[in-house]
Every structure is written in structure tokens, then in C-alpha cells.
Amino acid sequence: MKEGMTVIVKTITRFVGVMIMLFGVYIVLHGHLSPGGGFAGGVLLASGFILLTLAFGKDVSLKILPQWLASALESVGALIFLGMALLGFAGGFFFLNLLPKGEAGELMSAGIIPLCNIGIGIKVGAALFAVFMVLIMLRIRPGKEE
Amino acid sequence: MQFLPLFVAVPLLVAFVIPLLARWNKWMPDILGNLATLYLLVAATGLYFIRPFNNIMIYKMGGWVPPFGINLVLDGLSHLLLLTVCLIAFMATFYSIAYMRKYTGKGKYYVLFLLMLAGMNGVVLTGDLFNLYVFLEIAAVASYALVAFGTEAEELEASFKYLVMGALASAFILLGIGIIYGMTGTLNMADAARLLANVGTAGKMFVSAFFIMGFGLKAALVPFHAWLPDAHPSAPAPISAMLSGVLIKALGVYAIVRIFYNVIGVTPQLSYILMVLGAASMLVGVLLAIGQWDFKRLLAYHSISQIGYVILGLGLGTPLGIMGGLFHLFNHALFKSLLFLNAGAVEYTVGTRQLEEMGGLSKKMPVTSATSLAASMSIAGIPPFNGFWSKLFIILACIQAGRLWFALAAIIGSLLTLASFLKVQK
Amino acid sequence: MVYFLCFLLFLIGLYCIVTKKNLLKIIIGLVIVEYAVNLFLVLLGYKTGGHAPIINLAAPDWIYVDPLPQALVLTSIVIGLAVLALVVAIAMRIYERYGTFDITQIRKLRG
């Protein structure tokens, strides 16, 4: 069976896939200024990888991001988020917004919120990609009546 | 004062660390999981010395003052349930060290278990309505995955049924929370309680209906109990103990008590509805249990019946009734999880769950049969075991409040429970 | 009026869950129910003439719609996604074991 889709799709994906992932990173980083944030940006990142899988077949994307790395990234993303929350203990309360808050509308502002967004973005992207991989790699053997 | 968020943060932390470290050592997930639950148990009992007596401990998350922020509240009811949850969780993880040798994917089991534990601790500790929903969902989704853990055919079917009904119940709960927000404009429980006093009873009855449907399904009250006899036997034994022992109580009964006693306010009609549901659960559970030959399914039907006792006690509203209900809740957590862990030990050794095929095991497994005897006497309500005292309180409270039919139903339920457990003991 | 339509959507989803026999159609019914509840929550926050709740420094006297239900709905969508992923994985495994998606045939647990 021929892996992946036709030549037209493969050529376009080479350009567009990277742009989708860049757009996802933009949404994650600007989470405190415009709609989006960690979750929506993470979904976009995962969509970029999924597009790559659909167009080229799963071996190519597994070479870029193998299964174990996706699981590890998921845990790391969650630990970043939890670490930010526990860091608030230094200021006396859980989840306290410690780091200096700039003015409204600047990119580097709002304390720990952009860092939390990055953690969530990594986690959601890796998790959705792993879920997608597991779902398509399940080999269906129907008809096992017992 | 800084302890309260740790009850949620520590299980989450260990749950996210286990996938990273699971490769180093085969026993690493066991060690980390047991350390986490041991720490939680010690912390939960230690809180007894820190908390000022008869007072409430409040923790403002992030320093935001309520009603803008979310706060964690620890009052007497929360503390009792926190202790129950942590105790049963520690017993279950300790049991899992040996039991999970049969299953692959032990690391994932511990991750899901710790997530479920974090969710339950969060439900018990939170003082904010939407936070309650979020933690409820965390615990519920972890339990859906844990019920299907062995991926045998029956487990998958049971998990699917449980999942669809549970997700529907959560949708009802979210709808109810949305309506409360629409009526009062705040999500904090104490604030909503204050503002809901001004709302008319039609709105409150509408919201109460949604909450009874939603939380009643989580607590396996009678019209909504259909998922429990399939889900509880199919799970691995320590998960059955956790599900039956604490999950239906922390998510179902505790949430009902919180929402109805603290936020919406109990009216006589509402208390009567709770009592009727409780009595129906008692009788239906026990009647359906008598014909069962599968050990764990029998125990699952008994869970429905015992939760009926608890809701009956809590629905009465008199001080003796509430005390009896809560005492029975704690007792049931203890002896039901003991029974499920025994069933798991028997299944591990004998390889089957059908009662007709087991017989005369007391010579081969003396410890298990002694503990099983103690637990059966306790659940049937024979003095001086603890089940007797809590059922006595509930029956006395019924008689004191003048509801004689309910007392009669409770006594009948108790006798039938005794009958089915005599069958088990043979 | 619009709340009534929301409730109608909820009832359609409930009808799908209760009467359909194919596993995948039950899953779709569940998704419709969750969607209806999320829609209801977002509609609660609407104020007449409101704008999207992102602070625009150039127009300081806009009315903003209530942002709190939007935060609630964001969380609820994430939870719905997690449940959906889990239920689809379970449905695929059920197909592998039973060979069918028909729920009248998946009846090993009785009594």
C-alpha cells in the first residue's frame, strides 16, 4: 500500500505544516493578550503533527517525535505547570502570581501566566499527538466472538 | 496552614513523575505510589491536631480573596471524608503491590489511581462550585479508565456503560451549576448560599432536580443505579474497593450533602424525597442481591443498599439521623473495601468469582476467611460490630422523627442483608 | 427564547443516547449533549451590546460580556475532549473483542 497521499498534498504540506506549528506557538505565547492560550495552542501544535502524519504516513512523524518522547514531553509539560503552582509557595500561597507583572498589553507581563501557558501547550500538544498515534496504530481484528 | 493544597498537589506531582521514572526500576511505580498515599494518610490524621476544634480552616488559593478567588475549606464533614479517602487509598495501594503482578502496565495503573485520588481529595476540600465540577470530572474520568483496565470483553462493556451514564450525569451537574450562576452571579459556595436565600422556591426546585439526577447517579441511588453492578465487579480488586468504598461516597453522597445542606437549603419536600430514594435503594439493592451467585456482583448490589441507608440517615435531618448516616458512611467504607479486597484475594487464589464453585476455603485461607467473617457480620448489623451501631442510630432516628414506615424498611433491609451474607459464608 | 433552543439541543442529544443501537451514534449523542450544556453556559454571560472580553486599550469604555462563563466553558470543552478520546478508544477495543458495534449483541453481563 502506498504510504501517504498524492504528490500535491505532500508538497503543500511541506510548506504549510511548519507554518501551522509556528501559528500554534504564537497562540500559546500570546495567551494573556488575545484569545487562545495554552489549550488552543496545544491543539494547533498537535494538528500540525497530525497533518504531517496524514500526508506522509506515520513513519515520518514517528521519526520526528517518537512515542516515548511524546509521553516524556507530556509529563514534563505537566510538571512545569505544577512547578509554577508550587513556586507560589515561596510567596506564601499556592498559585500566587510571583513574577513581576508588566503593564497590560505587553508581551512580557502578567507574572507566571505565560509560563503556565507554555507548560499546558507542550502537554496538550504531546498528549493529543500520542492519543492520535495510539488510535491509528490499533490493529483491528474483528469477529472474535467468545 | 499551607497543608491544604498539598492534598491535591502531591498525588498530581507523583502521578506525573511516575511515567518519567518507570524505566529505572521495576518496583518504582509501587514505591512512589505507596509513599504518596502514606504521606497523605499521615497528613490527614495530622490535621486533627492542627485544626482548632469545631472551627473551619480556609485556604485562599493564590491569595485572591473570595468571592473573586477559589478557596479550599476544611470543616468537620470534609475532614471525616478526607480521612476516609486517604485511609482506604493507602490500603488499596498497599494491596496493589502484590495484586497487580497479574496485570501489565503497572505504571499506568498507579498514574490513574493517583489522579483519581487527587480528584477525590479536591472534591472533598473545595469551597467553590465549579472547582467541585472540575475535580469531580478528574476523578470520574480516571475511574472510567481504571474500570476498563484489564481490557477483557466484560470490562470494556461495563466501562462503556459506566462512562456514558457518568458523562450524562456530569452534564446535568454542569447545567445545574450554570443555573445557580445565572441566578446568583457567583460560584463560591458560601456566597451562593447567602444569595440563594432571596430566590423563590420554583427556581430552587428546578436546580435541585438537576442535582439529584446528576449526583444521584454518581452515588448510585435507585433509579440511577444501573451502572454499578456491571462496573464494580469488572474492575481490578483494589479499584473495586476504592470505587465502592470511597468514590461513590466522595463524589455522590458528600456532594449531595454539601449542595443541599449548605448551598440550596433543605426543605421538607426535599428531605422526604431523599428519604424515599434512600429507602428504595435499600430494598431494591438487597432484593436484587439475593439471587446473585457472583461474589463481587453481590457485593456491588449491597453497596447500593448500604448507600441507601446513608442517604436515609442524612435525609432525616435530625442530629441523630445525620450522625448515624455519617457513621454508617465511614463504616461502610471500611467493611465494603475489606470485603472487596477479600474477594480479590479469593479470586487471585482460586481463579473464579462464582460462589457455587467455591466452598470450604476456610482451611486453605484462614486469614481471609476470618476477616471476611468479621466484615460480613459488620455489614449485616450484628452486635458488637460497628455496622450494628450505625444502623441502630439510623433506625432510632427514624422512630424519633415519627417516620415508622422507613424504620420498618430499614429493619427488613438489614434482615435480608444478613440472609445473603450467610449464603456467602458457607 | 434562545435558552429554549439550547434545551431542545440537549433533548436531541439525550434522544440519541437513549434510542440508538450503534455505539458510535451513542457517542455522537453524548457529544451533542455536552455541546448543548457548553452553549447554555456561554449564553448566560451575554450583556446587550457587549464585545468580546479582551481589553482594548484604545477603547476604554466598551461594555464587555461576562468572561467567567467563558473560562468555565473552556475547561468544560477540555474535559469533554478527554472523555471523548477515552470513549472512542474503548469503543474501538469493544469492536475488536465482540466484532460488532450493535449494543443488543454486547450483552455479556446480565442480571
Residue B324: what pLDDT? 82
Q: Quickly state the pLDDT bin for A22 (edges 50, 70, 90).
A: very high
Return the higher-pLDDT residue of C87 and A86.
C87
Q: Do the beta carbons of residue C24 and residue C91 sit within 8 Å?
A: yes
Show which of residues 86-145 on chain A sit within 8 Å of chain C, judged by CB atoms.
104-105, 131, 134-135, 138, 140-145
Residues of A in contact with C55 (CB under 8 A): 104-105
Residue C96 to residues A139, B105, B107, C55, Cα–Cα distance (Å): 9, 20, 24, 51
Phi-psi region of A90 (alpha: psi -120 to 50; beta: other; left: phi over 0): alpha
CB-nearest partner of B163 from C37, C90, C108: C90
- Give the residue from A43, A131, A133 with the most C CB atoms within 10 Å of its CB, the best one to mutate: A131
Residues of A in contact with B13 (CB under 8 A): 79, 82, 86
* Cα–Cα distance for residue pair B369/B363, rounded to 1 Å: 9
Q: Do the beta carbons of residue B255 and residue B136 sit within 8 Å?
A: yes
Q: Of B85, B77, B103, give the one whose Cα is nearest residue B43.
A: B85
Question: Of the segments A40-44, A104-108, B61-65, B336-340, which one has the largest average pLDDT value?
Answer: A40-44
Q: Quickly state the pLDDT bin for A146 (edges 50, 70, 90).
A: very low
* Cα–Cα distance for residue pair B178/C48, rounded to 1 Å: 19
Residue B382: what pLDDT? 64
Instruction: Return mean pLDDT, chain B.
Output: 79
Q: Which of A75-79, B13-17, C61-65 has the lowest mean pLDDT?
A: C61-65
Residue C59: what pLDDT? 66
- Average pLDDT value for residue range A52-63: 80
Bridge partners of residue C22, in order along the sequence: C102
* Whether the predicted pLDDT of B207 surpasses 90: no
Write the CATH number of the domain with boundaries C2-52+61-98: 1.10.287.3510
- Average pLDDT value for residue range B238-263: 81
- Sequence-distant contacts of B202-208: CB under 8 A, at least 24 apart: B203/B179, B204/B264, B204/B265, B204/B267, B206/B179, B207/B176, B207/B179, B207/B180, B207/B183, B207/B264, B208/B260, B208/B264, B208/B270
Bridge partners of residue B188, in order along the sequence: B128
* Whether the predicted pLDDT of B84 surpasses 80: yes
Amino acid occupying residue B400:
Q
Instruction: Provide the grid cell at C69.
Output: 462563563
* Whether the predicted pLDDT of A105 surpasses 60: no
* Whether the predicted pLDDT of C54 surpasses 80: no
Query: Cβ contact (<8 Å) for B61 and A95?
Result: yes
Phi, psi (rounded to 5 degrees) for C102: -85, 125
In a domain, B224, yes or no: no
Residue A101: what pLDDT? 53
Q: Which residue of B has its CA nearest to C107?
A: B157
Distance from CA of B409 to the nearest CA of C (A): 24
Q: Tell whether A146 is within 8 A of chain B (Cβ).
A: yes
- Average pLDDT value for residue range C67-78: 88
Cell 433506625 belongs to: B395
Q: Quickly state the pLDDT bin for C80 (edges 50, 70, 90).
A: very high
- Which stretches of B150-218 are DSSP H helices? 153-184, 189-196, 201-218
Q: Which residue of C has its CA nearest to B163?
A: C87
In a domain, B162, yes or no: no
Rounded to two decimals, the ipTM of the complex is 0.90
Residues of A in contact with B60 (CB under 8 A): 93
Number of helices (H), then strands (E), belonging to chain A: the values are 5, 0
Residue B285: what pLDDT? 81
Amino acid occupying residue B236:
P
Chain B: which residues have CB within 8 Å of chain A? 2, 5, 9, 12-13, 16-17, 19-20, 59-63, 153
Phi, psi (rounded to 5 degrees) for B126: -80, 155
- Average pLDDT value for residue range A101-123: 72
Q: Do the beta carbons of residue B334 and residue B246 sit within 8 Å?
A: no
Query: Cβ contact (<8 Å) for A34 and C95?
Result: no
Return the higher-pLDDT residue of B167 and B331.
B167
Given a contact as 3+ CB pairs under 8 Å, which chains touch C? Answer: A, B
Residues of C in contact with B151 (CB under 8 A): 93
Amino acid occupying residue B295:
F
Q: Which of A56-70, A77-91, B165-179 has the lowest mean pLDDT?
A: A77-91
Query: Cβ contact (<8 Å) for B134 and C79?
Result: yes
CB pairs under 8 A between A and B: 42
| Chain segment B371-412, per-residue pLDDT in tens | 767 676 666 666 666 667 777 777 777 777 666 667 777 777
CB-nearest partner of A104 from C57, C85, C98: C57
Residue B239: what pLDDT? 81
Dihedral angle, C-alpha C75, C80, C83, C87, nearest 10 °: -170
Phi, psi (rounded to 5 degrees) for C61: -115, 30
Query: Cβ contact (<8 Å) for B17 and A72?
Result: no
Number of helices (H), then strands (E), belonging to chain B: the values are 17, 2
- Which stretches of B243-318 are DSSP H helices? 254-257, 268-290, 295-316
Dihedral angle, C-alpha C38, C44, C50, C53, nearest 10 °: -50
In a domain, B363, yes or no: yes
Instruction: Provide the grid cell at B231.
Output: 462496573
Q: Which of A130-139, B132-141, B157-166 has the lowest mean pLDDT?
A: A130-139
In a domain, B54, yes or no: no
What distance, in Å, lies between the first and last C-alpha atoms of chain A?
A: 32
CB-nearest partner of A75 from B20, B63, B153: B20
* Whether the predicted pLDDT of C111 surpasses 50: no
Residue C55: what pLDDT? 66
Cell 449533549 belongs to: C33
Cell 496524514 belongs to: A54
Residue B174: what pLDDT? 92
Query: Cβ contact (<8 Å) for B144 and C111?
Result: no
Query: Cβ contact (<8 Å) for B62 and A94?
Result: yes
| Chain segment B329-378, per-residue pLDDT in tens | 888 888 888 888 877 777 777 666 565 555 555 555 666 666 767 676 66
- Give the residue from B8, B13, B16 with the most A CB atoms within 10 Å of its CB, the best one to mutate: B16
In a domain, B2, yes or no: no
* Cα–Cα distance for residue pair B159/B151, rounded to 1 Å: 10
Q: DSSP 3-state assignment of B214?
A: helix
Q: Of B116, B1, B134, give the one whose Cα is nearest residue B70.
A: B134
Query: Cβ contact (<8 Å) for B62 and A88?
Result: yes
Residue B226: what pLDDT? 81
Return the higher-pLDDT residue of A120 and B270.
A120
Q: What is the CA radius of gyration of chain C?
A: 19
Q: Which residue of A has its CA nearest to C106?
A: A145
Instruction: Provide the grid cell at A38.
Output: 495554552
Residues of C in contact with B175 (CB under 8 A): 10, 37, 40
| Chain segment B33-50, per-residue pLDDT in tens | 888 888 888 888 887 777
Residue A19 to residues A4, A47, B236, B262, Cα–Cα distance (Å): 20, 11, 46, 52
Q: Do the beta carbons of residue B308 and residue B280 sit within 8 Å?
A: yes
- For residue A68, count other CB atoms closer than 10 A to its CB: 11
Q: Which domain holds residue B273?
A: 266-426
* Whether the predicted pLDDT of A49 surpasses 80: yes
CB-nearest partner of B182 from C44, C91, C106: C44
Residue C12: what pLDDT? 92
